[in-house]
């Protein structure tokens, strides 16, 4: 009879010299024992892998829901209009009528040029003064070349005839602005701002009640040989300086405009006269300097928008729309006497271009309407918003079928045109 190999393996014992009788009596583990142990080890490993996989899946879903939410990109309704209208506005009006504010800012610009040949120069200093009448309510005429005595002890003369208004009922002195020039040529008459008295009133009661103060410095006095530039060079330099000064002042004003107001490029005007031009010669060069004041008409965007859209065929509420390119419209002043900027109360102008009317989207209301809604109801909700042209939705995680229940988890981006 053939031997059972497995049974023999069970019976056979390897006996070492150091084994005790008890150890000799203990049977050796069978092959089945090893297989069973290995099977248990593998089962434990599979169980661990299964637990780990479940944990990873759970973590993935947990993280997904922590970072869940909705992102909506909205394209608002936009309409391009054709506009070309003559309008009028009132200065500083508090009514709903179209109004404007007058902005005023001054500065100077200089340029140094290589001088030509030397010539004898006799130039009288010039400036501008404000003459005040604190004497009576009656106006006071002053003739051409009325002499004014400066606080530096020198005599200057008025360039034109003028009339000084009388004192107002509240006691405010009447005043008038007039140009002056030095009685003699030379740099000695150049000066920082001065106070003046009317020389012809000396010894009279009027002397103390009529007075003048210069606006800025008195400059331009020269005597001697100086390098000169041609008239053509002067004209070129002046044009360059005016352009540079206007650009600088416009930028300075534009940077300070409060939100909700518009300043058109063609609604600013630079005022420079010969009294504010300075030519200085030194070391073979000629320095040309100009001083100017920029006047600009500033408009309330909401009031202007209301005026632009009021005759359109569609029904508008000015609070529901805005004009994204309102500052790019073309402004043209038609008021004939608007050059007297400090006194202007009303203006007439033409405004033309293609205003881009943009509807405002109420994002808070849209978020409220979407809370907890099903994904498939998204476009049905959008249909209730005529101010929205189109929208794209992105839900996280991707398998989510409804909107979050909290408004903080819904983000709306509106692509308003610039």
Residue 148's domain spans which residues? 120-224
Supply the pLDDT for residue 308.
92
The verdict on 94 and 241 lying in the same domain is yes
Supply the pLDDT for residue 275.
58
Residue 164 clears pLDDT 90, i.e. is over it: yes
Residue 383 lies in a domain: yes
The verdict on 400 and 268 lying in the same domain is no
Q: Which tens digits make up the pLDDT trace of 288-319?
A: 888 888 999 999 999 999 999 988 777 678 88
Are residues 196 and 156 in contact, defined by beta-carbon separation less than 8 angstroms? yes
The verdict on 12 and 158 lying in the same domain is no
Q: Which tens digits make up the pLDDT trace of 196-219?
A: 999 999 999 999 999 999 988 898
Bond prior to 397 in cis (omega within 30° of 0):
yes
Residue 157 clears pLDDT 50, i.e. is over it: yes
The verdict on 240 and 92 lying in the same domain is yes
* DSSP run (H or E) holding 173: none
The verdict on 217 and 178 lying in the same domain is yes
The verdict on 101 and 244 lying in the same domain is yes
Supply the pLDDT for residue 51.
65
Are residues 223 and 189 in contact, defined by beta-carbon separation less than 8 angstroms? no
Residue 324 lies in a domain: no
C-alpha triplet 381, 384, 388: angle, nearest 5°: 95
Distances in Å between the Cα of 105 and the Cα atoms of 85, 238, 248, 271, 292 are: 29, 19, 11, 10, 9
Q: What tokens does 161 get?
A: 């005839």
Residue 378 clears pLDDT 50, i.e. is over it: yes
Supply the pLDDT for residue 352.
96
pLDDT band at 15 (very low <50, low <70, confident <90, very high): very low
The verdict on 159 and 208 lying in the same domain is yes
Q: Which tens digits make up the pLDDT trace of 122-152?
A: 889 999 999 999 999 999 999 999 999 999 9
The verdict on 290 and 183 lying in the same domain is no
The verdict on 31 and 173 lying in the same domain is no
Residue 146 lies in a domain: yes
The verdict on 92 and 239 lying in the same domain is yes
Q: What tokens does 111 get?
A: 């340029």
The verdict on 336 and 364 lying in the same domain is no
Q: Which tens digits make up the pLDDT trace of 25-81?
A: 555 555 555 555 555 566 666 666 666 666 655 554 554 455 578 999 999 999 999
Residue 352 lies in a domain: no
Residue 390 lies in a domain: yes
The verdict on 343 and 365 lying in the same domain is no
How confident is the model over 267-281, as a mean pLDDT? 75
Q: Tell me how many domains the chain contains.
A: 4
Residue 127 lies in a domain: yes
Q: Of 240-244, 264-268, 340-344, 385-389, where does mean pLDDT reach its minimum?
A: 340-344
């Amino acid at each position: 009879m053939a031997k059972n190999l497995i049974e023999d393996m069970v019976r056979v014992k390897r006996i070492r010299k150091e084994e005790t009788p008890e150890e000799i009596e203990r049977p050796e583990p069978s092959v089945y024992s090893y297989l069973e142990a290995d099977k248990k080890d593998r089962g434990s490993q599979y169980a661990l892998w299964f637990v780990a996989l479940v944990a990873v899946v759970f973590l993935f879903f947990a993280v997904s829901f922590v970072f869940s939410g909705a992102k909506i990109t909205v394209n608002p309704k936009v309409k391009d209009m054709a506009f070309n209208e003559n309008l009028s506005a009132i200065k500083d009006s508090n009514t709903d009528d179209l109004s404007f504010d007058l902005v005023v800012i001054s500065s100077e610009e200089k340029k140094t040029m290589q001088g030509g040949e030397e010539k004898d120069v006799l130039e009288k200093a010039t400036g501008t003064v404000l003459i005040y009448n604190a004497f009576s309510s009656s106006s006071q005429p002053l003739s051409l070349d009325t002499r004014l005595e400066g606080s530096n002890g020198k005599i200057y003369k008025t360039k034109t005839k003028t009339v000084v208004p009388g004192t107002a009922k509240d006691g405010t002195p009447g005043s008038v602005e007039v140009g002056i020039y030095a009685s003699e040529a030379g740099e000695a008459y150049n000066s920082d701002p001065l106070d003046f008295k009317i020389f012809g009133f000396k010894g009279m009661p009027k002397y103390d009640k009529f007075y003048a103060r210069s606006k800025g410095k008195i400059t331009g006095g020269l005597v001697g040989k100086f390098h000169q530039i041609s008239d053509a060079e002067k004209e070129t330099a002046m044009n360059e300086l005016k352009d540079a000064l206007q650009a600088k002042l416009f930028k300075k004003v534009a940077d300070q405009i409060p939100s909700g107001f518009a300043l058109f490029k063609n609604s600013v005007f630079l005022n420079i006269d010969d009294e504010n031009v300075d030519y200085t010669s030194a070391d073979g060069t000629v320095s040309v300097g100009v001083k100017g004041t920029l006047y600009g008409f500033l408009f309330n965007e909401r009031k202007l928008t209301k005026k632009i859209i009021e005759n359109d065929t569609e029904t508008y509420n000015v609070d529901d729309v805005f004009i994204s390119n309102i500052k790019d419209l073309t402004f043209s002043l038609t008021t004939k006497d608007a050059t007297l900027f400090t006194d202007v109360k009303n203006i007439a102008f033409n405004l033309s271009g293609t205003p881009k009317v943009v509807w405002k989207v109420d994002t808070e209301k849209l978020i409220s309407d979407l809370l907890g809604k099903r994904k498939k109801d998204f476009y049905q909700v959008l249909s209730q918003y005529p101010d929205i042209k189109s929208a794209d939705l992105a839900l996280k995680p991707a398998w989510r079928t409804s909107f979050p229940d909290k408004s903080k988890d819904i983000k709306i981006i509106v692509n308003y045109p610039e």
